[in-house]
Amino acid sequence: MSRFWSPVVQTLTPYIPGEQPQMERLVKLNTNESPYGPSPKALAAINQQTNEDLRLYPDPEGVTLKKAIADLHGLDPKQVFLGNGSDEVLAHVFLGLLKQAKPVQFPDITYSFYPVYCKLFGIDYQTVALGSNFEIQAQDFKTPNGGIIFPNPNAPTGRAIPRSEIEGLLSRNTDSVVVIDEAYVDYGTESCVPLLRGNTCPENLLVVHTLSKSRALAGLRVGFAVGHPSLIEGLERVKNSFNSYPLGKLAQAGAIAAIQDQAHLESTSKKVVQTRERLLAELSALGFDTLPSTANFIFTRHPKHAGVKLYQALRDRGLIVRHFKSPRIEEFLRITIGTDDQTNELIAALKEILAST
């Protein structure tokens, strides 16, 4: 605390990211990174860009990257907005689109960065309770509101809703922006991006993606939003009032190559999904109760063992998972899907813990 902090800084409760411990030999299953490396083509592109040209500023508009994203998704480059990780994209979305006279709505259990942005930007919000089995109920988002945002699949639950329910929501909610955060869409969720193609693109739908999860580039910091060109124009106004060069040359080069390597994305995501299904079955055999997941993590609890105790016992054995001390979910662990070997270690550790307590 310092008396020189501005009034707004005095009131902030910042987001706490999952830890990045520096210890060796840890099984790190706490921040939903990919257990597999990024596309080798992305690494080659970054290496190639590592030269004297780094003295120059990068392309502030990221024209080539926007075109690569637009081509992949069947969109126009004017429908693409880039940011330094999707967290930065989301910050601009909150300030530029969701800061309205009416409160923004999001689920009571969701990505915990959303309320942090609201606090930072002075945005009123309302939470909408998930159903009894932690499912998003689209019909519970009521008008009027200053905007709606949720991840699909939701985090940290991993549960998704079909695209048709989001289309229903859009047809009822025509006076504010609906933002779908598709950070985990590549592990078996229906994307809303196809709704944005052609001249039927809704004026109020924005979809946010990241290269941090399925493209295994969390360390590069690249995210983007796609939507109607008028929404993108609003976001560009915010970005150009904050930082004109959010993406460096290395990030742009790596992201272009990663976006173009769909084969790598598909093969690594498929492995994650297979491991997820195996882990689900093994956990169920151990008596865990796990929510259905279409993400690269699962959300699970054991009826006889407290979440915090399991978290600590795993930690003592060098396995790091995520535990949230929030109402309704404190009995759960969020476990990132790792490699097959990491999954074997996890299951062995859980067997040992359950047998000894």
Ligand X SMILES: *Cc1c(COP(=O)(O)O)cnc(C)c1O
Amino acid at position 298, single letter:
I
Nearer to ligand X, 128 or 353 (CB): 128
- Min CB(15)–ligand X separation in Å: 10
Out of 68, 155, 232, 346, the residue judged to bind ligand X by CB under 6 A: 155
Where in 221-240 is the site for ligand X (CB under 6 A)?
223
Q: What is the largest CA-CA distance in the chain?
A: 61
Nearer to ligand X, 295 or 353 (CB): 295
Six-digit token string for 333: 């662990």
Binding mask 195-214 for ligand X (x = CB under 6 A): ---------------x-x--
The C-alpha angle with vertex 263 and arms to 20 and 81, in degrees rounded to 5, equals: 65
Query: What are the E-state strand segments in 15-96?
Result: 27-28, 80-83
Distance, in Å, from the CA atom of 14 to the CA atom of 132, rounded to the nearest integer, reads 29
- Min CB(186)–ligand X separation in Å: 13
Amino acid at position 309, single letter:
K
The C-alpha angle with vertex 77 and arms to 75 and 78, in degrees rounded to 5, equals: 105
Nearer to ligand X, 184 or 288 (CB): 184
Binding mask 92-131 for ligand X (x = CB under 6 A): -------------------x--------------------
Nearest CA to 309 out of 338, 342, 331, 341 is that of 331
Q: How far is CA 194 from the centre of its chain?
A: 19
Count of positions on this chain that bind ligand X (CB under 6 A):
13
- Min CB(325)–ligand X separation in Å: 18
Torsion sign across C-alpha atoms 284, 286, 288, 289: positive
CB 158 within 8 A of CB 134: no
CB 247 within 8 A of CB 284: no
Instruction: Identify which range of 83-91, 123-131, 259-267, 299-307 contacts ligand X by CB under 6 A.
Output: 83-91
Nearer to ligand X, 166 or 349 (CB): 166
Taking residue 291's Cβ as centre, other Cβ atoms within 10 Å add up to 20
Out of 45, 166, 218, 247, the residue judged to bind ligand X by CB under 6 A: 218
321 lies in the binding site for ligand X (CB under 6 A): no
Binding mask 160-189 for ligand X (x = CB under 6 A): ---------------------x-x------
The binding site for ligand X (CB under 6 A) comprises 32, 85-87, 111, 151, 155, 181, 183, 210, 212, 218, 223
